Structures are given as C-alpha cells and as structure tokens.
Amino acid sequence: MFGSSFDNSAEQIGRSYPSQRRIGTICVFGGAMLGNDPDHARCATVLGEAIAAAGIRLVYGGGCDGLMGQVAIAAAETGGTVVAITPQFLVERMRMLSPGCQTISVPDMSIRKQLMFDYADAFVALPGGIGTVEELTEVMTLRKLERHCKPLVLANFKGFWSPLLSVFESMSEAGFMNSSTRCGQMVSSTPEAILPLLQRSVSFEQNETPKPVLLPTMPVLRRSHLASASPA
Ligand code: AMP
C-alpha cells in the first residue's frame, strides 16, 4: 500500500526540525468545491469541530465554499476562533462566514498566503484541487529549504492524496527528494488522527539544540497592505 514507507512518527519529525512545543493556530487548506464524495465534507466537519474543541485557532481563506469553508463553518459553529484571511475579489465572489469570525482583508492572494503562513503553527491539507496542491507544496518547499519547522498533515481521506504521495515516492527514488524527512509532511487517513499527529510532532522532546526558525522568503508584508491584522 502506498504511503506505508512514509514515516509519520513524531520522532522522525521532531528529529528533523525540533522547535515548537504547542500548536495555537492551524491553517487548513482545502478545495473550493466539496468534491463528489460527501464523506470528504463529513471529514472536514469532524476536523473543524476537533480544532474548535481543542481550543486551537483556525486560519483559512475566508469563504463558506468547498471543503475549506466546511471546516471553518464547523469550527465556528462549535464555538472556535476562526480567522478569515481573504482578498477583496474573493469577498465579492464567495459567501463569507461572518458571525464568530475575524476577517482580515488583504489585497491579493500572495499576501493572503504569507499571512496564513505567518499565523499558522501547523498546516492541514484537506482534499482539493490545484490551488490546494500549490499551497501544500509551498509549505513543503519552504520546510525543505529550512525556512520553517511547522508540521503539515495531508488529510488522506479515502486515499485522496495517495497519487500525489506516489509522485513524492518516485521523486525520492529518483534522488530528488530527501527520503528521511520527505519535507516533513505527515499523512492521516482519518480526521480524528490529525490533531494528535500534529501535537505529537511538536511536543517531541530531544536533546539537540533547536534550529532557529527562519522567516519565509516571500514578499515583505507591510501594515498598509492590511485592512486589519493582529497575530496573537
Ligand atoms: P482548489 O479548489 O484546491 O483549486 O483551491 C483554489 C483556491 O481557492 C485555493 O487558493 C484555496 O485556498 C482557495 N479556497 C478554497 N476554498 C476557499 C474558501 N472557502 N474561502 C476562500 N478561499 C478558498
């Protein structure tokens, strides 16, 4: 079965990039559509509820649409703290999640991506399309380049990400990917296992001196770019 050679253990992750000890904010990526399988939306709901119940803040793209919206709706309805970071053009195009949600308006997608990255202590990629792939691979690339040590879980519900994981496996076999860390990503086939996996990965204790967390090499964000922004 594909994925079995991926080391999900906290020891493996912690050994690679020790540093954080607690997850306060999770950024969830996911499709702007719900997909054909209703189980994906159910899993997104379970994840949103679990994030809220754990007292973890959710950062996401702002709209109610798709799996990304589903997780935010579930978190907000469970009483969680939800931060929507969204460019104006999406506000005009998507249904927005208003009650119980702090909205940060940004001028464009690249600043949205940087803010989502800056706020997050960890990332989850739900099933999605090309936009979700772009977001999760950027997190992996920056981690490979040692720009951060934030963990990422691929929510491999019903094997959704297995074809992509096969590509990573091929890259690794061909010598283009580090086989010991695989850029730090973990894989979970159920929504219930995601938070425990992330918590273990950041709380793993070891004796080495932690590597410094470096800032991503993305465009400089200025206060004037934001309508309102105040990472806690
Ligand atoms: P995808 O459907 O995976 O191709 O995603 C396309 C883009 O839409 C990605 O940049 C997602 O972050 C973004 N996106 C998906 N759902 C939402 C949402 N509910 N609100 C705001 N942005 C979203």
Please list the rounded mean pLDDT of every run of 10 residues in the chain (232 residues). 33 40 93 97 98 97 93 95 91 75 90 95 98 96 91 97 95 85 83 95 54 40 46 44
pLDDT at 10: 36
- Two structure tokens written together for 185: 């990503």
Q: Do 50 and 192 form a contact (C-beta atoms < 8 A)?
A: yes
CA of 67 to the centre of ligand 1 (A): 9
pLDDT at 21: 67
pLDDT at 20: 54
Residue nearest to atom 9 of ligand 1 (CA): 131
pLDDT at 93: 81
- In degrees and rounded to multiples of 5, residue 221 shows phi and psi of -95, 125
80 lines ligand 1 (CB under 6 A): no
69 CA: nearest ligand 1 atom: 19
- Two structure tokens written together for 181: 């860390």
pLDDT at 139: 95
pLDDT at 227: 47
- Two structure tokens written together for 113: 């991506």
CA of 149 to the centre of ligand 1 (A): 24
pLDDT at 1: 26
The answer to whether the predicted template modeling score (pTM) of the entire model surpasses 0.85 is no
Q: Which helix (H) or strand (E) is 125 found in, with range?
A: strand 122-125
User: What are the Cα distances from residue 110, in Å, to 26, 56, 106?
Assistant: 19, 24, 9
pLDDT at 99: 66
pLDDT at 97: 74
All domains of the chain in start order, with CATH? 6-203 (3.40.50.450)
